[in-house]
Structure formats: structure tokens, C-alpha cells
């Protein structure tokens, strides 16, 4: 019996297959279009602003006419606020992930924590902003608007990302490593500190970088917590300037010079966020090979 | 664990640690457990405070805060249906436009794409999630709105016989633009989850379909899609949750008009947009402020429900394949994280 015992695929079925493959490819390419367009317009409209004099070296003056200034304080403010947020979210996030993988495992409480962390990832960032606004700004804890309150809002938003990413990589640490260390008589805390965490380090860094990148671009939570400022205040107990909020305000301005500064600031912000993302991916890839 | 240790002199196990050396272990254990519990408590506290702050609005307007159609800040009447309507409409537009693209991209990347291109192509889709929402807003305001207005006018007049979608005079900022931007924002999320779910389809199912003479598309339709359906549905719902809560991109392009737009290409409002837009003027007006908190509460509950249902779908998809030893589907946000 020859292979032709199988009925050849009919022309109609083959045509349908080809059409559907074409449709899938086309839609995939459609998915690329927005990113290409956004990057194109960012470069097209942002580069002139970025290369303008004093863009990175002067603070916004807040004046509508004359010299409007650059984005220095916005960049510094964003970096500082995100740094504080990371200092809160990353240790706590990894701690919770350690609890989930090392102690909680399949306990009911651990499942509850996992569930609510998942739910937290879906909470709109503006709601985190409202939370902090109500409990810290309205309540007047240490004044009204302040940079550190923005950091807390961002930390809340970054926390679930860190926990989920860390849990995944901590679970990848081979049980054999833990058991070997325990069998050698190491107490659990040393096993975690000296074996589990170092083994998972690249993955933890990747997850943290992605969380930082996410926090960096957030605008809504900062509106309610940090508010705005123009000068380079690096004092986190005061109102501060941040890139996303400055972009937001510059978009709404009727002044084309400020609109142009928004494009420049957006280009800067996207560049930072994309670099963080690519860095995170490189680290993740490197660790997978080793 | 140490209970089976052999005992030496003194009745104490040779392998059992002294109470003092066990102390750091206990501290760490309870410290980490406390940390996890603390997060749940903080969330609960926030929720209670949000309910407390919006309480006066709900006691004054009751259900008409959600279903009444009159948002009039000047007369302090806060019937938020125009907001809810805008939130739901833009999110539905986002799903209609975004989900097919996301699923197609996921299918193409997992089943059809040449191996060499898979990495860069996936990265490209994922990076969409890394673009901050304020940048989407910026692009929407200065590029999409002016460039699409002509096409919208043509569409509205050509298809004026379709109620709501056609007819009317398109305005620059409108529901459609907001929905379009939301669609772009949810594509990477839905696509990433769909991809992970599709990767867990047992190869035997696919090979069996191909061995029976199925074409690639028939294999996708008969083996991949049915198996991945719950996960894809869950992913789409996570995207919906994201779309419902998106603030900055929407507030910039929806027009912020407090009455319901009569057509798809008219201005409107959304729950999240109203909070961001009116927050400044409401800062010293407790009634108005409470109404914004109430809008936040409605938004929070809405996204919470959508996310809970989404998780159920995704975990249902996972349970079926746990036995096959496939990788568990990890569902955080998108792979790249991103805007709002």
C-alpha cells in the first residue's frame, strides 16, 4: 500500500489554511504597528526638544512665556521617588515570596496571600493613588503632598510584580540544593540566605527591574500624592517634580513649546524604561544559559 | 523533621538544635509570615477607608450614584452613569479591537512563526506593555486625534444608518480614540497570557491532529484553541480589568464631557478620568471629593470582580494540565509590566 492511501488535502482546505495563516500573520504585524509609530513619533518630535539647549541641565521654570526650562528636576525626582519605592517594594516583595516558597507552600494562608497578590496586580494604579491620598495626604501625616507618599503608592503597585516574579524563580531553585544544605546541618535561615537567594539572584534582579520599569512610568498615583513642583527639590518630604507628571501637564498646555518639551520628556522616559526592560531580559537570558 | 533523630546522652537529640540556635529560624519564619499577613491587612484597611470616605456620597445618592444620568459638579449632583458608561464602552471597544489581534499574535508566535523570529517578535509585542500610559496619551492627543478625525468623519457619514456607531459629528477626543488606545495597551497582556496557555497544549494533541491529516489551521482550531480557551478567556478578562482602570491615557483623549456622548465618535468621560480630571478642583470641596472617592470605589470593585473571575478561568485552565507536568502558567501583569 502506498502513502496515497491518505486522502490528499483538498484544494479548498489548503486554501483555507493559507488564508488563515495569512490572517494570523497580518494581525500579528498589526500588533507591531503601534510600537513602531510611537517610537517614530517620539524620535521625530522628541529629538529636537532633547537636543535643545539646557533640556537636561535646567529645571522647568513654570513660566508660560520666555524660558520654560528643561526637565532636570523631573528626571531627578522620578529617579529618587522610584528608588525609595524600590527600597520598600523589593525587600518586602522578596520576603513575601520567600514566605510563599519556603514556609507557606500549599497552606491555606499562603494560598490566600497568593490570591490577593494576584488580585493586587489588577488594581488600577489610580486606586493605589487614592488609598495613599486618603490615608496619608488627607490625614496630613507629615504634611500634605510629599515625594515619599508617591513612593509608597508606587511601592504598592510594584509589590505584587516583585512577589510573583520572585516566587516563580525561587520555585525554580532545585529542591536538592536546599536538602543538601539542610542535610549538612545548616539552619533554614542560612539555607535561604546562602543557598536559595544567591541561586535565584538573576531572576530576582530581572523581576525587580521589570517592577522598577513599571513604577517609573506611572502618572496617576503621583498626581494625588506628590503633586507637582518645578525646582529640583530632592527632599522627599516636599512636593516634587516627576517625568510622568511633567509630561501630563505639558500635554495639557496650549503652548507648543511646552508640548514639544512633553515629547522630549516622553522620549527620555521611554528610553529609560526600555533600557530597564531590555536589561532585565538580558539578565534573565544569561541566567537561563548558565 | 528532627523528631526521628537518634538520642545521645542527656536525652537531647544529637541532631536537634539548641533552642538558642533555633531562634533566628523562628524569627524569620514568623517575620515573613507577618509580612505576608501585613499586606492583606493593609489592603483591607485601605478598602475600609475608601468605603468610609465615599460613604456620604452613597448615603446621599444611593444607587443613583451608579445608575443616575446626571453628573453636575456645579449643582453638586453626582449621578455617575455617564462615567460608568464611558468606562464600559471604551473597555468593550478595547476588547473588540485588541483581543483578536492579541490571540492572532499569540497563535502566530507559538504555532507558525519561524523559530528564529520568535524571540524578536515576542519582544516586540511585549515592549508595547512597557510604554508608559502618559506616552500613549501624548501620542493620542498629538497624533491619533488629528490624524484620525478625517477618517472618523468619513465613517460617521458613510455609515450613518448604523445607530450610535455612525452619524453625528465626530469630535477630536472621543470614545473611539480612547478605546483604540486601550486596545493597544491590552494587546501585550492578553497576548502574553494566551501565549503561555498555548505553550502548555500537550504536543501529542497537536501531533495527533497533524498525523490525522489536519492542516496547520485545522490543528490550531481543533487542538490548540479548545484546550487553551479557558486561559485565553481569563487573559482577555485581565485585559478588560486593565482597560477599565486605565486613567491617564483615557483622561487625555476621551474629552472629559460630563454628559453621555450620543455617538461613538463623541466626547465622554470615564470613572478613572473623572478622578484625575476633577481631583484638583475637588480638593477643598468635601462633597465633590467624596463623589470622586465613590467613583474610585466603584472602579475598584468593578476591577476586583473582573480580576477574580479572570483568575478563576485561568486556574481552571491550569488545573487540567497540572498532571502533564507542563510549566504552570504564571500570571503576573504583562511580561514587561507597563502603563497604569
SS3 content of chain A, % helix, strand, coil (to 5): 75, 0, 25
Q: Residue A175, SS3?
A: helix
For the beta carbon of residue A157, count every other beta carbon within 10 angstroms.
28
Phi, psi torsion values for B78, nearest 5 degrees: -120, 80
Per-residue confidence band for B336, with pLDDT thresholds at 50, 70 and 90: very low
Residues of B in contact with A134 (CB under 8 A): 46, 49-50, 53, 293
What confidence score (pLDDT) does residue B319 get?
55
For residues B300 and B249, what is the distance between their CA atoms, to the nearest angstrom? 18
- Any B CB within 8 A of A216 CB: yes
Q: Which of residues 93-152 of A touch B (CB under 8 A)?
A: 95-96, 98-100, 102-104, 109-110, 112-113, 115-127, 130-131, 134-135, 138
A58 with A64: CB under 8 angstroms?
Answer: no
Per-residue confidence band for B96, with pLDDT thresholds at 50, 70 and 90: very high
pLDDT at B16 over 70: no
Q: How many CA atoms within 13 Å lie on the side-chain side of A19?
A: 6
Interface test with B, best of A7, A37, A99, A167 (most B CBs within 10 A): A99
Q: pLDDT tens digits for B48-85?
A: 999 999 999 999 998 889 899 999 888 888 999 999 99
Domains and CATH numbers, chain A: 72-289 (1.10.3720.10)
What confidence score (pLDDT) does residue B181 get?
97
Q: Residue A24, SS3?
A: helix
Q: pLDDT tens digits for A10-42?
A: 889 999 999 999 999 999 999 999 999 999 999
What confidence score (pLDDT) does residue B90 get?
97
For residues A159 and A212, what is the distance between their CA atoms, to the nearest angstrom? 10
Cell of residue A256, nine digits: 507648543
- Any B CB within 8 A of A180 CB: no
Q: What is the mean pLDDT of the segment spanning B287-305? A: 94
A266 with A42: CB under 8 angstroms?
Answer: yes
Cell of residue B20, nine digits: 538558642
Domains and CATH numbers, chain B: 82-270 (1.10.3720.10)
Q: ∠ CA(A266), CA(B134), CA(B100), 5° rounding? A: 115
Q: What is the ipTM of this complex?
A: 0.91
E strands, chain A, where?
none
Contact A35 B131 (CB under 8 A): yes
**Mean pLDDT for all residues in chain B:** 86
Compute, in degrees rounded to 10, the torsion defined by CA atoms A148, A209, A221, A110: -90
Among B248, B60, B257, which Cα is nearest to A224's?
A: B248
pLDDT tens digits for chain A (290 residues)? 444 545 677 889 999 999 999 999 999 999 999 999 999 999 999 999 898 888 998 888 877 777 888 899 999 999 999 999 999 999 999 999 999 998 888 889 999 999 889 888 889 999 999 999 999 998 888 888 989 999 999 999 999 999 999 999 999 999 899 999 999 988 888 899 899 999 999 999 999 999 999 999 999 999 988 887 777 678 888 889 999 999 999 998 889 999 999 999 999 999 999 999 999 989 888 775 43
Report the gap between the CA of A4 and the closest CA in chain B (Å): 12
B109 with B335: CB under 8 angstroms?
Answer: no
pLDDT at B154 over 50: yes
- Any B CB within 8 A of A45 CB: yes
What confidence score (pLDDT) does residue A88 get?
96
Which residue carries 539646557 as its cell?
A54
Per-residue confidence band for B296, with pLDDT thresholds at 50, 70 and 90: very high
A203 with A286: CB under 8 angstroms?
Answer: no
Q: Which of residues 53-72 of A touch B (CB under 8 A)?
A: none
Which residue carries 517575620 as its cell?
B31
A103 with B29: CB under 8 angstroms?
Answer: yes
For the beta carbon of residue A233, count every other beta carbon within 10 angstroms.
18
Contact A131 B21 (CB under 8 A): no
Contact B104 A161 (CB under 8 A): no
pLDDT at B99 over 90: yes
Q: What is the mean pLDDT of the segment spanning B153-165? A: 90
Which residue carries 509630561 as its cell?
A247
Among A159, A145, A158, which Cα is nearest to A245's?
A: A145
Contact A121 B332 (CB under 8 A): yes
Amino acid at each position: 500500500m502506498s502513502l496515497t492511501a491518505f486522502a490528499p488535502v483538498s484544494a479548498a482546505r489548503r486554501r483555507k489554511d493559507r488564508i488563515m495563516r495569512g490572517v494570523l500573520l497580518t494581525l500579528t504585524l498589526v500588533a507591531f504597528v503601534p510600537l513602531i509609530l510611537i517610537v517614530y513619533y517620539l524620535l521625530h518630535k522628541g529629538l529636537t526638544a532633547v537636543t535643545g539647549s539646557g533640556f537636561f541641565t535646567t529645571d522647568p521654570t513654570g513660566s508660560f512665556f520666555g524660558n520654560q526650562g528643561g526637565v532636570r528636576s523631573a528626571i531627578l525626582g522620578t529617579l529618587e521617588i522610584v528608588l525609595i519605592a524600590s527600597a520598600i517594594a523589593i525587600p518586602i516583595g522578596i520576603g513575601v515570596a520567600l514566605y510563599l516558597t519556603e514556609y507557606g507552600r500549599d497552606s491555606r494562608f499562603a494560598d490566600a496571600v497568593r490570591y490577593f497578590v494576584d488580585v493586587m496586580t489588577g488594581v488600577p494604579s489610580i486606586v493605589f493613588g487614592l488609598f495613599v491620598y486618603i490615608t496619608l495626604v488627607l490625614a496630613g501625616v507629615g504634611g500634605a503632598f510629599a515625594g515619599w507618599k508617591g513612593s509608597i503608592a508606587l511601592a504598592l503597585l510594584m509589590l505584587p510584580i516583585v512577589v510573583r516574579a520572585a516566587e516563580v524563580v525561587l520555585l525554580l531553585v532545585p529542591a536538592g540544593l536546599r536538602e543538601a544544605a539542610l542535610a549538612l546541618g545548616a539552619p533554614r535561615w542560612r539555607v535561604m540566605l546562602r543557598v536559595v537567594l544567591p541561586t535565584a539572584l538573576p531572576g530576582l534582579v530581572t523581576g525587580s527591574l521589570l517592577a522598577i520599569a513599571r513604577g517609573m512610568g506611572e502618572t496617576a498615583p503621583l498626581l494625588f500624592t506628590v503633586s507637582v513642583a518645578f525646582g529640583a527639590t530632592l527632599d522627599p518630604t516636599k512636593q516634587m517634580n516627576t517625568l510622568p507628571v511633567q509630561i501630563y501637564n505639558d500635554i495639557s498646555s496650549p503652548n507648543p513649546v511646552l508640548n514639544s518639551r512633553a515629547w522630549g520628556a516622553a522620549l527620555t522616559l521611554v528610553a529609560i524604561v526600555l533600557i530597564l526592560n531590555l536589561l532585565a531580559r538580558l539578565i534573565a537570558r544569561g541566567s537561563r544559559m548558565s | 523533621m528532627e523528631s526521628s533523630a537518634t538520642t545521645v546522652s542527656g536525652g537531647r537529640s544529637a541532631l536537634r538544635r539548641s533552642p538558642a540556635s533555633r531562634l533566628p529560624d523562628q524569627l524569620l519564619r514568623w517575620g515573613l509570615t507577618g509580612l505576608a499577613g501585613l499586606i492583606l491587612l493593609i489592603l483591607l484597611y485601605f478598602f475600609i477607608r475608601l468605603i468610609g470616605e465615599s460613604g456620604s456620597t452613597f448615603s446621599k445618592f444611593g444607587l443613583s450614584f451608579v445608575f443616575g444620568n446626571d453628573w453636575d459638579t456645579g449643582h453638586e449632583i453626582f449621578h455617575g452613569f455617564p462615567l460608568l458608561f464611558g468606562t464600559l464602552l471604551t473597555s468593550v471597544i478595547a476588547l473588540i479591537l485588541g483581543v483578536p489581534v492579541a490571540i492572532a499574535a499569540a497563535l502566530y508566535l507559538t504555532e507558525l512563526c519561524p523559530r528564529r523570529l520568535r524571540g524578536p517578535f515576542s519582544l516586540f509585542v511585549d515592549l508595547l506593555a512597557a510604554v508608559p500610559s502618559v506616552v500613549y496619551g501624548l501620542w493620542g492627543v498629538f497624533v491619533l486625534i488629528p490624524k484620525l478625525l478625517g477618517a472618523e468623519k468619513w465613517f460617521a457619514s458613510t455609515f450613518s444608518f448604523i445607530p450610535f456607531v455612525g452619524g453625528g459629528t465626530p469630535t477630536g477626543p472621543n470614545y473611539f480614540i480612547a478605546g483604540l488606545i486601550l486596545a493597544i495597551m491590552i494587546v501585550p497582556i492578553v497576548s502574553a497570557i494566551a501565549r503561555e496557555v498555548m505553550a502548555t497544549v500537550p504536543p501529542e494533541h497537536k501531533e495527533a491532529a497533524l498525523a490525522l491529516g489536519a492542516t496547520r489551521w485545522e490543528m490550531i482550531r481543533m487542538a490548540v484553541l479548545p484546550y487553551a480557551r479557558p486561559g485565553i478567556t481569563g487573559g482577555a478578562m485581565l485585559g478588560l480589568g486593565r482597560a477599565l482602570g486605565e486613567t491617564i491615557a483615557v483622561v487625555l483623549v476621551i474629552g472629559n464631557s460630563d454628559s453621555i456622548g450620543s455617538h461613538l465618535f463623541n466626547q465622554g468621560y470615564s470613572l478613572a478620568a473623572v478622578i484625575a480630571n476633577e481631583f484638583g478642583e475637588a480638593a477643598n470641596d468635601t462633597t465633590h471629593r467624596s463623589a470622586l472617592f465613590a467613583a474610585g470605589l466603584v472602579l475598584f470593585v468593578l476591577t476586583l470582580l473582573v480580576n477574580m473571575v479572570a483568575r478563576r478561568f485561568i486556574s481552571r485552565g491550569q488545573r487540567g494540565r497540572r498532571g502533564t507536568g507542563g510549566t504552570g502558567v504564571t500570571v503576573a501583569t504583562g511580561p514587561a509590566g507597563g502603563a497604569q
